[in-house]
Amino acid sequence: MWIVLSAWKFPPRTAELIDGLYVRIYARLRNSNSVEPRHFCAKELERAMAAWFEIVGGVAATCTTLCWLPQSLKIIREKRTDGISLVTQSVFTLGTALWATYGLLLNNRPVLLANVVTLVFALVILILKLRYP
C-alpha cells in the first residue's frame, strides 16, 4: 500500500518518517516542545512548509543567478573569452530565455525574475564571446 503525500507516492514507512519530520518542523516553527499529533493542524503546517519551500527556492535562485556575475566581470575586465564555448553559452542563453518565458506564462514571478536576471548575465557573456573570440 502506498500513501499519497503532496502529490508524490511514498511507501508507508517513508510517509510516516516524512509526517514525523513535518510535525517536528511545525512544532519548531510554533516554538513548541510538543510534537504530539493532536497538536498538529494540517493547514498551518502546509502554510509553514510552503513558506520554507519559497525560502529554499529563493536562496537557490539567488545562488544560481548571481554565480554569473563574477564571470561577466572577469570577461569585461580581461576582454578574453577563450575558455568559454560559444555553443554551450548559446544553448544556455536560449534555455534561460525559455525558462523566463515559462515563468511568464505561468505567472510565476520568482521563476521569471531569477531567469530574467540570469538571462541578462548570459547575454552579456554571449555578446562578449562574439566580440572577443
Return the percentage of the chain with pLDDT > 70, whole number: 68
Residue 59: inside a domain:
no
CATH of residue 90: 1.20.1280.290
pLDDT classification of 7: cutoffs 50, 70, 90:
very low
What are the residues facing 107 on neighbouring strands?
none
Structural domain contains residue 12: no
State mean pLDDT over 2-12.
Answer: 48
Q: What is the pLDDT of residues 12-52, one digit of tens each?
A: 666 666 666 666 666 666 665 555 554 556 677 777 777 78
Q: How many residues does the chain have?
A: 133
Q: How many domains in the chain? A: 1
Kindly give, in sequence order, each residue whose CB lies less than 8 Å from that of residue 118, ignoring residues fewer than 6 positions away.
64, 65, 68, 96
To the nearest 10°, report the CA torsion of 56, 4, 25, 35.
180
58 vs 25, residue with greater confidence: 58
Q: Does 6 fall in a domain? A: no
Examine residue 98 and state whether it is found in any structural domain, yes or no.
Answer: yes
User: Confidence band (pLDDT; 50, 70, 90) for 6?
Assistant: very low
| Residue 79 belongs to some domain of the structure | yes
Domain that holds residue 82: 65-133
